[in-house]
Structure 1
């Protein structure tokens, strides 16, 4: 059966006016003018074909028609509130579904999720290695992508866009001259790569193995530089792309997302 399109805003105004038996006090509650309340009531009366209020010498008064529907209307608004609370229940959830590049997960994200769990021991995570996964199909809370900006999503940059040329700390002289090429970083014009790979993760793994030097995002290799697995041959310098944590706008209003973003962005800024 086709449902009637209800004038919900006008019904909300009617509920407030009926509770206060005053357009002025209803207007104060709803943060509108008394004239706007009166306009909504008249429009609702036109839709329903009944008179809801009458003015008497004692002031405003509900008609029998207005009284007849009031209890059911208020029960309906309570149901609406319960429905909204049920839909928002995920905001308090401790489960996160995150998409990120595999190498970034291993080198940067996983240690920080472990630190996050120390303060949130009930947190549970599901990881997708495809950072470009569809949010709806994969039921993602957020994604971390190596991009120039958040695009159509809301996002926060985890660190400034910086790049660095790195090699394994124990790489031999030949490896320090050899280049590892991947699509996300343009090599110098005279460079002749000895190895071509498909992404930053493969370039990082190759550099760590001593196969040559690579241009990589600084955030990706920061920990490996700090613990001595890699050495910086040049940079860091300004780059074009950086790691962004992105999600559709509704996700950003979730309490659990705000907690995670605060933890990750705090780590990045430290």
Structure 2
């Protein structure tokens, strides 16, 4: 019989019924009705072409044909359990590989991971710099954080933020606009151009001018007094998203990380 044709549900019912020698108790174990157990047994008998149980005055009895296959069947179920445990081992791993833009990693992600690590010291993190698209399979990633208008082709959750804000050195600095690739005034001519929003914050803190950056990135520098907010936050369709393909997204360790980062 081909593996694709193995009557696995029927074999599971056979194992339970043979252990209890009762369709009723087997039904309780499997959370189905006794009638459903009987139907599964009859279907299995039709498929195999043998009689597996007989009803006697003493109750339910296994036939010799039924007994003959039980040991191998139960060994097989033990192998299934081992296979499931092996597949779940990856979910119980305490190592997480995360890809994120360099400025987000420096300004937001590493401080958050430090807080998480203090609570769970057995965790191990591998950080990958990824300013553009990421290949989950090639990089063996668990989670990626990227800048965009949504999760794209993956599952995802947005990181809460107030949009874009203008920041400058407290007490004033150069009256100069600082630009970076992807900023709101990217197409305008600026006297200071830097590689990313994180460097724009540093340039503003150094007094080189003012920069419009994601509020999420500037949050810690604002709290530390390195820069101050100029004007009101501006809503923006783009933001930072935690994303992963569905299989990774469903993993317990990834879900726990997403919840911790979003908290």
Q: What TM-score bracket applies, with the shorter chain setting the length?
A: 0.7 to 0.9
Cα deviation, 1:72-111, whole Å, max 9, x if unaligned, reads 1111111111121122122232211111111100001111
Cα deviation, 1:192-230, whole Å, max 9, x if unaligned, reads 544566654454455445454333221111111111222
Where do 1:92-103 residues align within 5 Å? Answer: 92-103=92-103
Which residue does the alignment assign to 2:168? 167
Measured in 1, the distance between the counterparts of 2:153 and 2:9 equals: 30
What is the TM-score of this pair, normalised by structure 1? 0.82
Q: Which deviates the most, 104-113 or 57-66?
A: 57-66
Which residue does the alignment assign to 2:139? 138
Secondary structure at 1:149 match in 2? coil
Secondary structure at 1:61 match in 2? strand
Gaps of 5+ in 1: none
Measured in 1, the distance between the counterparts of 2:256 and 2:244 equals: 14
Where do 1:169-208 residues align within 5 Å? Answer: 169=170, 172-175=173-176, 178=177, 180-183=179-182, 185-187=183-185, 192-194=189-191, 199-201=196-198, 203-208=200-205
Secondary structure at 2:127 match in 1? strand
What is the TM-score of this pair, normalised by structure 2? 0.84
Is 1:66 aligned to residue 66 of structure 2?
A: yes
Is 1:238 aligned to residue 235 of structure 2?
A: yes
CA contact (8 A) 1:179 1:192 kept: no
Pair 199,52 (structure 1): closer, same or farther in 2 beyond 3 Å: farther
Measured in 2, the distance between the counterparts of 1:103 and 1:215 equals: 14
Pair 136,161 (structure 1): closer, same or farther in 2 beyond 3 Å: farther
Q: Which deviates the most, 51-60 or 247-256?
A: 247-256
Cα deviation, 1:137-186, whole Å, max 9, x if unaligned, reads 211111112233334433333314522122344763431xx252533x43
Pair 56,160 (structure 1): closer, same or farther in 2 beyond 3 Å: farther
CA contact (8 A) 2:179 2:193 kept: yes
Aligned partner of 1:229 among 226, 230, 235 = 226
Is 1:4 aligned to residue 17 of structure 2?
A: no
Pair 58,38 (structure 1): closer, same or farther in 2 beyond 3 Å: same
Secondary structure at 1:174 match in 2? coil
Pair 47,213 (structure 1): closer, same or farther in 2 beyond 3 Å: farther
Cα deviation, 1:29-48, whole Å, max 9, x if unaligned, reads 22223333223222222322
Cα deviation, 1:116-150, whole Å, max 9, x if unaligned, reads 22222232211111163222221111111223333
CA contact (8 A) 1:182 1:203 kept: no
CA contact (8 A) 1:161 1:240 kept: no
User: What is the deviation of 1:68?
Assistant: 0.8
Measured in 1, the distance between the counterparts of 2:169 and 2:47 equals: 75
Q: Which deviates the most, 77-86 or 254-263?
A: 254-263
Cα deviation, 1:8-55, whole Å, max 9, x if unaligned, reads 222212212222222222222222233332232222223222222223
